[in-house]
Chain A
């Protein structure tokens, strides 16, 4: 059978339509105005250097009296978890009765060059946790870690298990040497000491480039052709622009923290070996004895599901739950499917353990 059944007049029409939509799209995009992100009102309750601890203003009944602290990654910005009204994991959690807090790391600059993972985890995170423990009069709080923030949450829970009542990890890398881990493959032979000693902080631009390099044709080509088809709808265009803003909003990475994360986690795979040292303390996943809910995405191109799944083998808890989301690394927070699946599952799981 002949493979093509493309009628030339229809092909012409297709090409013509692309041109027309681009022309219309120019008008739509010109009139979009500022792209606002982070839809849920929040107040800053604690600052330390560039880190800010936010409390999302409750709009629904708080059913779980144990506060939930969301720990985001150092790469990209945390508003991805609260992108817009109908695509917000934060709102979903609040609707489910959680009292939600979030650490925003801000934008490190040259003055933050020597911040280490110890400073982030045993410093900022621990201080934020203490603030919440005191504010709520509880010994331990619930923590939800996102991606690299999930790895930080695991480290924190290992070192301070008495302060973590329940731990939720989402798309969190645990085993950094799984077969399909492209990022890990790329950095294996890079001299990270030389990179950090040379660059100081790692530019956000370099991270953008790296993430886009994972799927260049889809992320730098096909996506924009898809976008052309939705340009006549201002709402869809604005949604697209929000995501676009988030993707390219990459803070620089504090040099020393980045050095350790790449060397110990990506190159040395020390998290599962129990060899990560934060200050003078050794991180052992076997110390993570509180209940753990591990959520990962089946089509994750950044953190392969196998990398997250590995947690079950190393964590010390007897109350371990895994939840696989049928989608990608970002879709798990912003897709319509995720709104219906992830926050209710987290709330239900936490509710049973409050």
Chain B
């Protein structure tokens, strides 16, 4: 904002001469922007924005990848800026004309803002409303995201209930839901009863989601009008500080500030927290139910289901976790079993460690077999210095070990035995678990390698 104390004091900028010049200017602008009309009027598209759009289309996607996306976003903002310029033309002209006729600019400005708000709340198609919508297109993003999620939850493209989001349906919303709910609560009968109930439940959940979505949209509806209110107050505040807005860009920044402030307050309100959570939770219920239905179909075809995959993945991760715990339980600082270090020296080092592990395992298995052969459970009672349960599991030899099996790593084995001797057994360790573990399929203690 530029301060202009001289104008503020003795030479007001809206004297007759200046006002005439302004009118001439704005008339010239209007000639350039033939679409500009009164507040709330339905007008042709902004010629600058239209020209930009045509130019972009003529390029025919001459840009690829990330740059194209970024450029598209800049185009959107460029058009929003053009729209803002056009609206400012109208706004400033009205203020200038009215002031020349003796009115207070504050009143004119307020009337103008009120007209814009009314236009927005009545969902009229005005240039300003379109401009606001374009600039606030981000508020469409949540919808876009939910649409895609809905698409993923059913075989229907997009949000199949999108039409119900319109303002037209809003009036009959409650009645519609009540009727549908009663209809969907009719119990299923006969051989296909379960399947009927599933479909009914899916429809009910979808309606619940649609209702939650409508509440979310309604909560957003006032944002545009509130942002205009805030912008108006900011403009007044500028003058109160003895400053002036000297460029469109300053006004644009003020508009962004106003929008962020209004949105920020709204997003931190309890009502937003509630409608947001309701919408997310409702959508998840739809998606979850849809997944169950898909799983039913897959199961009927003897194909793997999501539920089965989860079971397998969960068990696999639990096994990996158990292996890690056992490995770390030795406390010998050796690298983890599924990790892979780079470099030949580290590989050789790891092979040596594995050799040591193998030798120690063999020795302990031998000792255990001897104890079992004697038939006395007491003989196998773990002593304080005995290695943990992993020690009795028969490991497969890693490819690296097979390649070097003829070389007896006595030194490494000795060192390893010394380390194993201080490892603590799990607290729940007993001979029963040892015998049980000894009979299961041996754990592959070789490195599992990366999934990548």
Q: A: which residues have CB within 8 A of B?
A: 1-12, 14-15, 18-19, 22-23, 25-26, 29-30, 32, 35, 43-50, 106, 110-111, 113-116, 118-119, 123, 126-127, 130-131, 133-134, 180, 182, 185-186, 188-191, 194-195, 197-200, 205-206, 209, 212-218, 220-222, 224-225, 227-228, 231, 240-241, 244-245, 248, 279
With a cutoff of 8 Å between Cβ atoms, the chain B residues found around residue A185 in the complex are 267-268, 273
B239 at the interface (CB under 8 A from A): yes
Partner pick for B239 among A2, A35, A182, A200, CB 8 A cutoff = A2
Question: Which of B2, B74, B82, B256 makes the CB contact (< 8 A) with A25?
Answer: B74
Task: With both chains docked as a complex, state the minimum distance between the C-beta of A277 and any C-beta of chain B, in angstroms.
Answer: 14
Bound-state Cα–Cα, A189 to B135, Å? 30
Partner of A11, one of B52, B70, B248, B259: B248
Q: What chain A residues lie within 8 Å of B285 (beta carbons)?
A: 194
Is the pair A3, B55 in contact by a Cβ cutoff of 8 Å? Answer: no
- Which residues 79-101 of B have a CB within 8 angstroms of A? 80-82, 85, 88-89, 92, 95, 99
Q: Is A30 within 8 A of B62, CB to CB? A: yes
In the complex, the answer to whether B80 meets A44 with C-beta atoms within 8 Å is: no
Smallest CB-CB separation from B291: which chain A residue? Answer: A198
Chain B CB count within 10 A is highest, among A6, A22, A228, A240, for A6
Which residues on the B side are within 8 Å of A188 (C-beta)?
Answer: 273, 277
Instruction: Given A22-B74, A198-B291, check contact A6 B66 (CB 8 Å).
Output: no
CA distance A199 to B291 in the complex (A): 10
The CA-CA distance from A10 to B247 in the complex, in Å, is 8
Identify 30 residue pairs between A and B in the complex whose beta-carbon atoms are under 8 Å apart, listed by A's number.
A2-B13, A3-B235, A3-B236, A11-B248, A15-B85, A19-B48, A19-B51, A22-B74, A26-B71, A29-B67, A47-B341, A47-B342, A49-B450, A49-B452, A110-B313, A113-B313, A127-B336, A127-B339, A182-B267, A185-B268, A186-B273, A191-B284, A194-B285, A199-B287, A216-B263, A221-B135, A225-B78, A225-B252, A241-B66, A244-B70
Give chain B residues whose Cβ lies under 8 Å from the Cβ of A18: 78, 81-82
Give A188 to B270 CA distance when docked, in angstroms: 10
Q: How far is the CA of A191 from the CA of B282 in the complex (A)?
A: 10
**Is residue B141 contacting chain A, with contact meaning CB distance below 8 A?**
yes
- Asked if residues A227 and B74 are in contact (CB atoms below 8 Å), the reply is yes
CB of A354 to closest CB in B, whole Å: 23
Contact A11 B7 (CB under 8 A): no
Q: Are A220 and B341 in contact (CB under 8 A)?
A: no
- The docked-state distance in angstroms from the alpha carbon of A118 to that of B325 is 11
Give Cα A227–Cα B26 distance, bound, in whole angstroms: 29
Q: What sequence of 0s and 1s flags, for each residue 283-301 of chain B, a beta carbon within 8 Å of any chain A beta carbon?
A: 0110110010000000000
Name the CB-closest residue of A to B145.
Answer: A209
For the complex formed, measure the closest distance between the CB of B222 and the CB atoms of chain A, giving whole angstroms: 16
Which chain A residues lie closer than 8 Å to B288 at the CB level? 194, 197-198
Residue in contact with A190 in the complex, picked from B268, B277, B321, CB distance below 8 Å:
B277
Contact present for A220 and B73 (CB under 8 Å): yes
Residue among A5, A197, A279 with max Cβ neighbours from chain B (10 Å): A5
Residues of A within 8 A of B306 (CB): 200
Interface flags, B23-37, vs A, CB<8A=1, else 0? 001101100100000
Judging by beta carbons under 8 Å apart, are A4 and B273 in contact? no
- Given the complex, which residues of B lie within 8 Å of A111, measured CB to CB? 313, 451
Of A32, A44, A213, A248, which is within 8 A of B342 by CB? A44
Instruction: Check B317 for interface membership: any CB of A closer than 8 A.
Output: yes
Contacts of B138 in A (CB 8 A): 212, 216-217, 220-221
Count of inter-chain pairs, beta carbons less than 8 A? 272
Q: Assuming the A-B contacts A14-B248, A224-B76, are A46 and B4 also in contact, with contact meaning beta carbons closer than 8 angstroms in the complex?
A: no
Which residues of B have CB within 8 Å of A198? Answer: 284, 287-288, 291
Q: Mark B319-352, 1 if CB is under 8 A from A, else 0.
A: 0110011001000010110111111000000000
For A43, list chain B residues within 8 Å (CB): 342
With a CB–CB cut-off of 8 A, which chain A residues contact B239?
1-3
- Please indicate which of the listed interface residues B13, B256, B339 has the most CB atoms of chain A within 10 Å of its own CB: B339
- Determine if B164 is an interface residue (Cβ-Cβ < 8 Å): no
- From A4, A47, A206, B145 is in contact (CB under 8 Å) with A206
Q: A5-B7, A50-B452 are in contact. List 7 more A-B contacts (CB 8 A).
A: A6-B251, A22-B74, A29-B63, A30-B63, A50-B450, A123-B324, A248-B66
Contact between chains at A4 and B321 (CB < 8 Å): no
Contact: B89 with A217, CB < 8 Å? no
Task: Tell me whether B284 and A9 are in contact (CB under 8 A).
Answer: no
Instruction: List residues of chain A with CB within 8 A of the CB of B12.
Output: 1-2
A198 to B291, CA, bound (A): 8
How many Å from the CB of B284 to the closest CB on chain A? 5
Contact B335 A130 (CB under 8 A): yes
Contacts of B272 in A (CB 8 A): 186
Closest to A245 in B: B66
Cβ distance A216 to chain B, nearest Cβ, rounded Å = 4
**Pair A23/B55 contact, Cβ less than 8 Å:** yes
1/0 contact string of B114-147 vs chain A (CB within 8 Å):
0000000000000000000001111101100100
On chain A, the residues within 8 Å of B309 by CB distance are 110
Contact between A2 and B105, CB atoms less than 8 A apart: yes
Nearest residue, chain A, Cβ from B48 = A15
Contact string, B1-25, partner A, CB cutoff 8 A, digits 1/0? 0101001100011100000001001
Instruction: Give the Cβ gap from A92 to chain B, nearest Cβ, in Å.
Output: 26
